[in-house]
Amino acid sequence: MAAEHCVVLVSGGLDSATVLAIARGRHQYCHALSFDYGQRHRAELTAAAQVAQSLGACEHRVVTIGIDAIGGSALTDMRIAVPETPTSGIPVTYVPARNTVFLSLALGWAEVIGCADIYIGVNAMDYSGYPDCRPAFITAFAQLANLATRAGVEGTTRFAVHAPLMDMHKDDIIREGLSLRVDFAQTVSCYQADAAGLACGRCDSCRIRRDGFLKAGVADPTRYRSG
Amino acid sequence: MAAEHCVVLVSGGLDSATVLAIARGRHQYCHALSFDYGQRHRAELTAAAQVAQSLGACEHRVVTIGIDAIGGSALTDMRIAVPETPTSGIPVTYVPARNTVFLSLALGWAEVIGCADIYIGVNAMDYSGYPDCRPAFITAFAQLANLATRAGVEGTTRFAVHAPLMDMHKDDIIREGLSLRVDFAQTVSCYQADAAGLACGRCDSCRIRRDGFLKAGVADPTRYRSG
């Protein structure tokens, strides 16, 4: 039973949509999970709901987290601007411990569902240099998961955290997604997308996404706002 | 600078109040953190605010988490009753991955503040058998913390997770707290405390707390509701 189910973190972006498509090929029931954490690009939540439905997730839940109460990121603190030119080091769009928080809640839900497999769309190739997107982080979280839970203690479940895009470049992710019939027009990657989901075309995430479509030789379906 | 600051998880219960008092003896600035996660005993949040103020925390923040969206616990799902007689194994009051979620947010805040020390009031002696209260879990989380963060990657901070009550029995915790002038009358431990903070006297948490005061030979200041 359990192996037919999995939890997939779905942000509404390009990567997690591809991960959901991959997970759907392996599991009959994909439980999609998104977070409303006070992010400035809340349009991604609308995108996440569309993506979850299009790709056949069996359900989609949105957990609210008041992560903006601790601040410290351009994505959750409206007083910090999103950079529109490349920066060195880890950028201010990094949200402290975000993936740890997200995976923790995914773990809790997996335990409630009774499934062992958790999918996350991180990758450490064409990315913003966030520490919680690296292989060592994913491995450490999986170890923690098996100590942190009832299922781990009772030995009924051996949790696995899957990051199938970890070693892929953006153009490869796009090709993979297209082969699995992902409709990237539904996805929103921009850090400062407006309420309608229109992208700025200038932030880190927009640049990485646009370069990906260019390299993949595929028309970019992103809806950019003018000006 | 950073060593003068720390983050302390303060639930409003007896243990975390004692931990805050311990942390105050080591750090000038204790940043107290609580969570509104749809728990049935929300009176503990009022208690947490009182405790934070009484023991001289420099600030107290409450982060909202919609953890009830994933259910699976008697503490967050009002359809599951809190047991009033001892049960075997991990009880239904266990909230899946709760301490992982709480520590993740504490970690994020510590990173924003720029401090390395995180305090949590778990203990593995007189407790309910929750997996995420054990030493191995705390050790694994500290390892994860240093992989999950900007500070960890840049080598500027080596996070430490302190669980000073880990090996203490409840009566020892009570004695320690009293020696540090903790006012336990302010604390709420009951899993089904009412809005005024009155305890049921029958749940696991009430039983462990009452036995602690008895063994410590100290008058129990808990306000029980009648009937």
pLDDT confidence of residue B1: 47
Nearest to B63 among A70, A111, A112 (CB): A70
CA-based nearest residue in chain B for residue A35: B66
Nearest to B96 among A112, A141, A154 (CB): A112
CA-based nearest residue in chain B for residue A64: B66
- Domains contained in chain A, CATH given: 2-216 (3.40.50.620)
- Flag whether residue B62 sits within 8 Å of chain A, measured between CB atoms: yes
Tokens of residue B223, six digits: 């306000």
Partners of residue B99 in chain A, C-beta under 8 Å:
148
Confidence check on the interface: ipTM exceeds 0.95, yes or no: no
Classify burial at A135, counting beta carbons within 10 Å of its beta carbon; exposed 0-12, middle 13-18, buried 19 or more. middle
B117 pairs with which residues across the strands? Answer: B160
What mean pLDDT comes out for the span B30-42?
91
The answer to whether the CB atoms of A72 and B112 lie below 8 A apart is yes
Which residues of chain B from 141 to 160 reach within 8 Å of chain A, CB to CB? Answer: 141, 143-145, 147-150, 152-154
Contacts of B193 (CB under 8 A, 6+ apart): B41, B43, B44, B199, B200
- Condensed to tens digits (0 to 9), the pLDDT of residues A59-115 reads 999 999 998 888 878 888 888 888 888 777 778 888 888 999 999 999 999 999 999
Query: Where residue B33 falls among pLDDT bands split at 50, 70, 90?
Result: very high
H or E element in which residue A101 lies: helix A98-113
Strands B160-162, B117-119: pairing is parallel
Q: Quote the Cα angle for A194-A66-A148, to 5°.
A: 125
Q: Are the C-beta atoms of residues A202 and A84 closer than 8 Å to each other?
A: yes
The answer to whether the CB atoms of A107 and B100 lie below 8 A apart is yes
pTM (2 decimals)?
0.93
For residue B93, give how far its alpha carbon lies from the nearest alpha carbon of chain A (Å).
12
Please state which of the ranges A138-152, B72-86, B108-122, B180-194 shows the lowest mean pLDDT.
Answer: B72-86
Contacts of B154 (CB under 8 A, 6+ apart): A89, A90
The answer to whether the CB atoms of A107 and B97 lie below 8 A apart is yes
pLDDT confidence of residue A1: 47
Q: Which of B39, B104, B127, B149 to mutate to test the interface with A (most CBs of A within 10 A)?
A: B104
Mean pLDDT over all residues of chain B? 91
For residue B90, give how far its alpha carbon lies from the nearest alpha carbon of chain A (Å).
7
- Flag whether residue B219 sits within 8 Å of chain A, measured between CB atoms: no
Partners of residue B131 in chain A, C-beta under 8 Å:
147-150, 152-153
The answer to whether the CB atoms of B108 and A67 lie below 8 A apart is yes
